[in-house]
Amino acid sequence: MIKLAIHGGAGTILKSQMTAEKEQAYREALAASLQAGYAVLKSGGTSLQAVEAAVVSLEDSPLFNAGKGAVFTHDKTHELDAAIMEGLTHRAGAVAGVSNIKNPIVAAHRVMTHSEHVLLMGKGAEAFAQIQNLDIVEPSYFDTDFRLQQLMAIIDSEKAILDHDGAQENQNSAQENGEKKFGTVGAVALDQYGNLVAATSTGGMTNKRYGRVGDTPIIGAGTYADNATCAVSATGHGEFFIRYAVAYDIVALMRYQNLSVQEAATQVIQKLATIEPDTGGVIAIDRHGNVAFPFNTEGMYRGYIGEDGVAHTGIYGE
């Protein structure tokens, strides 16, 4: 049994506000990510290699708030976070606040496998990446006009916009209407050896200050994997995912209450909605290859692929 699931963010994603061309672009990017991970699994590769390949594909797409599509901070810089965890050994690696590592998920993987640590941040993480001969780029590599326009629309306010909020053509109108899209990306996979792995990557919040770090690189909040239960990758309002240890909470419900992955993930995401509406969603996969995609927003970019190699993608609340 092999299975891979991905997400590209959750939020106010309405078909009525999506052009046919834009929807096709998103679906093609999701399918490309699924095929990248599937190729690894189909050839006998591990779930660890598969989630990295899937997330790298999403990081390299400017459509998502990770890697090339990262949002701007208040100071017109980029601060990227990523994490990866394997369910067999519970080893994990993460980086936070990096600005010149082309693919932060690769750095997170290397922290897990080539250091005695779990989480490295900022300049230290970047120095580690250089020692590991990872792809280092100029910070301007992550610049896109679209993300800069998002920043300029709110830079004079004290508001930090979650991921790629207001992703419509009219930025000011989007902010006034409270449109939100959480652009964090992630992948979870089960390989033929029975191992589960989760990976997550993000560019953070538009207009954020003070080195804010969200849930993505926090093990147990935005990322977690456990072979006995499931692997989880989250997207949404990071502060809430940290406070309620969302990823681990799903694992705990499966472990201690014997809930299915669908029941556990849905219960946790529905609980979040009672605390704060439109907080986001998760993807989760259990040791039998069952996949759950609960979200409490209007939509979530998502997809899965199994033994047959057919990529299934979703965007709206269907």
> Is 212 flagged in the annotation as binding?
yes
Q: Is the pLDDT of residue 150 over 50?
A: yes
pLDDT of residue 161: 63
Position 87 in a domain: yes
pLDDT (tens digit per residue) in 288-317: 999 999 999 999 999 999 999 999 999 999
- pLDDT over 60 (residue 176): no
Q: What are the φ/ψ torsions at residue 253 (nearest 5 degrees)?
A: -65, -35
Instruction: Examine the pLDDT at 167 and tell me if it is beyond 50.
Output: no
Asked if residue 270 has pLDDT above 70, the reply is: yes
Residue 140: how many CB atoms within 10 A of its CB? 8
Specify burial of residue 150 (Cβ count, 10 A radius: 0-12, 13-18, 19+). Answer: buried
303 within domain boundaries: no
Name residue 186's beta-bridge partners: 7, 200
Q: CB 35: neighbour CB atoms within 10 A?
A: 17
316 located within any domain:
no
Quick: pLDDT tens for 123-144: 999 999 999 999 999 999 999 9
Q: Binding residue per annotation — 236?
A: yes
Rounded to an integer, the average pLDDT of 230-247 is: 97
Alpha carbons 50 and 307: distance in angstroms, whole number:
14
Select which of 12, 184, 206, 229 is catalytic: 184
Question: What digits encode the pLDDT tens for the residues 22-63?
Answer: 999 999 999 999 999 999 999 999 999 999 999 999 999 999
Answer whether residue 88 shows pLDDT above 80.
yes
Average of per-residue pLDDT across 278-287: 97
Record the pTM: 0.94
Is there a domain that residue 307 lies in? no
Q: What's the rounded Cα separation, in Å, for the pair 211 and 232? A: 25
**Run of H or E including 53:** helix 47-59
Averaged pLDDT, 258-262 = 98
Band of residue 177 on the pLDDT scale cut at 50, 70, 90: very low
Q: Is residue 308 part of a domain?
A: no
Q: Which residue has the higher pLDDT, 238 or 165?
A: 238
Position 153 in a domain = yes
Residues 79/280/318/289 CA torsion (nearest 10 deg): 80
Q: Is 255's pLDDT higher than 50?
A: yes
The whole domain housing 18 covers: 3-297
Tell me the pLDDT band of 158, cut-offs 50, 70 and 90.
low
Average pLDDT score over residue span 12-31: 93
Do 111 and 118 form a contact (C-beta atoms < 8 A)? Answer: yes
Helix, strand, or coil (residue 121): strand
DSSP at 308: T
Distance CA 279, CA 298 (A): 11
Query: What would the mean pLDDT of 196-203 be, rounded to a whole number?
Result: 98
Tell whether residue 93 is among the known ligand binding residues. no
Q: Is residue 103 part of a domain?
A: yes
Residue 289, in any domain of the structure? yes
What is the band of 173 on the pLDDT scale with cuts at 50, 70, 90? Answer: very low
DSSP 154-191: HTTSSPPEEBT-S-SS-HHHHHHTT--EE--EEEEEE-
Does residue 178 register a pLDDT over 50?
no
Q: Residue 277 carries which DSSP code?
A: S
Residues in the chain: 318
**Does the annotation place 291 within a ligand binding site?**
no
- In this prediction, residue 165 carries a pLDDT of 44
Percent of the chain with pLDDT over 90: 86
pLDDT of 174 above 50: no
Pairing of strands 196-202, 185-190: antiparallel
Segment 80-93 shows an average pLDDT of 98
Q: What is the largest CA-CA distance in the chain?
A: 52
For 80-111, the DSSP string reads EEEEEEETTT--EEEEEEESSBS-HHHHHHHH
Asked whether residue 318 carries a pLDDT value surpassing 80, the answer given is no
- What is the structure's pLDDT at 172? 41
- Is 274 in the active site? no
> How confident is the prediction for the chain on average, in pLDDT?
92
The response to whether 302 counts as a known ligand-binding position is no
Q: Is 166 annotated as a binding residue?
A: no
Dihedrals phi, psi of 185, to nearest 5 degrees: -115, 160
Q: Any known ligand binding at 163?
A: no
232 Cβ neighbours under 8 A, 6+ residues apart: 188, 198, 223, 224, 225, 246, 247, 250, 251, 265, 282, 283, 284
Reported confidence tier of residue 182, pLDDT bands at 50, 70, 90? low
Number of domains in the chain: 1
CATH number at residue 50: 3.60.20.30
Structure token digits, residue 142: 């992550």
Using pLDDT thresholds of 50, 70 and 90, give the confidence band for residue 166: very low
